[in-house]
Structure 1
Amino acid sequence: MRYTKLGNSGLNVSRICMGCMGFGDAEKGQHTWTLDEEHSREIIKRGLESGVNFFDTAIAYQSGTSEQYLGRALRDYAKREEVVVATKFLPRTATDIEAGISGRQHIERMIDKSLRNLCMDYVDLYIYHMWDFATPIYEVMDGLNRVVKAGKARYIGISNCFAWQLAKANALAEKEGFAKFISVQGHYNLLFREEEREMVPFCREENIALTPYSALAGGRLSRRPDETSKRLREDSYAKFKYDATARQDRVIIERVAEMAEQMDVSMTEISLAWLLTKVASPVVGATKLNHIEGAVKAVELALSAEEITYLEEAYIPHKLVGVMAENNGKAFGMPK
């Protein structure tokens, strides 16, 4: 395993971040393919043994049971100071707003609940899961700064945002003396490269770490187009993100498969080796031992400039979908 500093922070993280969305009680979430605690622990342990020290979860994953599984496993298998734990919180609900709960109160409640779930005194990275148009950004940044000042989080990050939103938030933080976002977790992989328009160059300029999710496009970049899996069959959100562009994406997937065969490595290794040339630490979900094993191997795989070009040249611009499409619509006052 190799390690890197996470942007403008003191966090030293593995080049692979284990995504924990696949862990948790399936009855308390939206996914049928999540793992029970016993199997989650096996994967977390194997990740630790392979040098992974960076773990990403969220209070929204299976109603907090992902946090609970991760926290208990790390308590048993690792020293707290040797791992980097990130979790995320969602915006206030309509019920919260009607009840008069402020953005600052909401953040305090969410971090306290996550810390209870994780059985930890602090998280290393607390991530604003998606932009909240119902809460002034000052209130969000003030609330997050208080979390940092209280020692409940060492640093803060943001997910599912545009470069202009990140720039606006950090400019406000600098003006007010608040903690600034040191990382951004967006949708970025060989099949979806829209982050390269503004977010990637902005983060490079500001030394903000990129820790993208969907690193393997919901499994599409880890197997041939004619192969399938439970995740590919049942992950409706991933289908929503990728089915519309499946025809043009297939060309890239076939190139990944071709290169993997030529180099005698897995498609996972090729796909992640490409992404590792662009970002600090991709979030890689794992629901089988071989998932994390393949991800770890990718860290040692170097692609030539010609190989990178071959993988990239078939890309065709994609429309925004899901959370980011909603974000864009709300920013411009467009109806859903």
Structure 2
Amino acid sequence: MKYKLLGRSGLKVSELCLGTMGFGTDNGWGADKDTSFAIMEEFANAGGNFFDTANVYQKGTSERLIGDFISQQDRDFFVLATKYTLKDNQTNPNASGNNRKNMMRSVEESLKRLKTDFIDVLYLHIWDDITPIDEVLRGLDDLIRHGKVNYAAISDTPAWVVSKGNTLAELMGWSQFIALQVEYSLIQRTPERELIPMAKHYGMTVTPWAPLGGGALTGKYLRGEQGRVKAESNRRNENAEKITRTVMSIADELGVTAGNVALQWMRQKGFSCIPIVGATKIDQLKENLKTVDIALTDAQMQQLDEASNIPLGFPGDFFKEDAVKLNSFGGFYDRVEKRK
């Protein structure tokens, strides 16, 4: 794999990120230790250095397995990203949320499980709609100044909150968010309304989770295979099937898997994007790794875009209206189009 810069930083990460939510079996599913180690070894041998985990994945076992593996390797080769926010202690009322107390406690626990002195990228896992954003940013900046964290990032948070945070951080001289993690795929394109344009504006790298729609875009449900995704979800409905059939058709043209096509589509969307590819079997990872060797034509990209198109809503669709409807703006729309 080649390496890319993560957001507006000099941090070099592999062009695919290894998702480790399935490392461990504490939640009744996932990969055991030997399989998890084999997956990490395969990823590293392919040049992969970017691992994504969280304090709550498999009740902490994901971090522990990564720590066991990394302790036998060159720690500085790897870029470890973990998260804090979600509840991981049933007796402490402050063992969840975005507050500073939980942040500091969670980081100390993650460092122990990961068997490391520092976390490369710390994500706020999900916005709690309670904690002031300045409390979050000051806490993250303190962790960075103390050397326990190298970079700050954010996940599953409204665009306006992230925008406010990065603007405040720039004003105050605090560390800014360099990456944004959201659900994004051919069957979940709603981040294109606000989140992805915001990320482009701030120079943030988008690290999509569920880039294969929980496996739906591999075509496994069309083949009758079972999975953890409920049949009535937006990943298993008529629209998802239509999109998946388009993906499979293009995959047949290229002689690759449907998963490769779905992953490459987002890598060619014109913004900094590093998909998080999860795996609980080594064969799954090997197939995903082949993505970096393919390219989609403009016609194939257009075909996928049209099959998965969503309304942008206001003001996105309003901005796309033809010039005739915007004459009252005195040619403003035409001038913008020419600059693009």
Aligned-pair CA distance for 1:250: 0.8
Aligned with 1:129 (options 102, 125, 130): 125
Question: Pairwise mapping of residues 215-234 of structure 1 onto structure 2 (< 5 A)?
Answer: 215-229=211-225, 232=227, 234=228
Match of 1:302?
A: 295
Match of 2:76?
A: 81
Number of aligned residues: 309
Question: Pairwise mapping of residues 1-336 of structure 1 onto structure 2 (< 5 A)?
Answer: 1-24=1-24, 26-27=25-26, 29=27, 32-76=28-72, 78-90=73-85, 96-97=92-93, 103-229=99-225, 232=227, 234-235=228-229, 240-243=233-236, 246-278=237-269, 279-317=272-310
* Matches of 1:239 and 1:36, distance apart in 2: 30
The one-letter amino acid of 1:84's match is V
* Matches of 2:95 and 2:40, distance apart in 1: 38
The one-letter amino acid of 1:14's match is S
Q: 203-212 or 172-181: which moved more?
A: 172-181
Aligned-pair CA distance for 1:295: 1.6
Higher helix share: 1
Contact in 2 for aligned 1:248/1:316 (Cα 8 Å): no
Aligned-pair CA distance for 1:317: 3.2
Q: CA RMSD in A?
A: 2.3
The one-letter amino acid of 1:187's match is E
Q: Are residues 138 and 226 of structure 1, via their aligned partners in 2, closer, same or farther at CA, if it must alter by over 3 Å?
A: same
* Matches of 1:201 and 1:68, distance apart in 2: 36
Aligned-pair CA distance for 1:142: 1.3
**Residue by residue, what CA displacement relative to the aligned partner does 1:84-126 show, whole Å, maximum 9, x if unpaired?**
1100011578964579999222111110100100001111100
SS at 1:242's partner residue? coil
* Matches of 2:55 and 2:303, distance apart in 1: 39
The one-letter amino acid of 1:149's match is R
* Matches of 1:47 and 1:98, distance apart in 2: 36
SS at 2:81's partner residue? strand
* Matches of 1:13 and 1:95, distance apart in 2: 37
Aligned-pair CA distance for 1:75: 2.0
* Structure 1, unpaired ranges of 5+: 320-336
Q: Are residues 293 and 110 of structure 1, via their aligned partners in 2, closer, same or farther at CA, if it must alter by over 3 Å?
A: same
Report the TM-score, using the length of structure 1 for normalisation.
0.86
Q: Larger C-alpha radius of gyration, 1 or 2?
A: 2
* Structure 2, unpaired ranges of 5+: 313-340
Contact in 2 for aligned 1:224/1:253 (Cα 8 Å): no
**Residue by residue, what CA displacement relative to the aligned partner does 1:120-164 show, whole Å, maximum 9, x if unpaired?**
111110000000222221211111111111101100100001211
Aligned-pair CA distance for 1:165: 1.2
Q: Are residues 149 and 98 of structure 1, via their aligned partners in 2, closer, same or farther at CA, if it must alter by over 3 Å?
A: closer
Contact in 1 for aligned 2:94/2:102 (Cα 8 Å): no
Structure of greater relative contact order (alpha carbons < 8 Å, 6+ residues apart): 1
Q: Percent identity at matched positions? A: 35
Aligned-pair CA distance for 1:235: 4.1
Contact in 2 for aligned 1:225/1:254 (Cα 8 Å): no
Q: 103-112 or 274-283: which moved more?
A: 274-283
* Matches of 2:68 and 2:100, distance apart in 1: 28
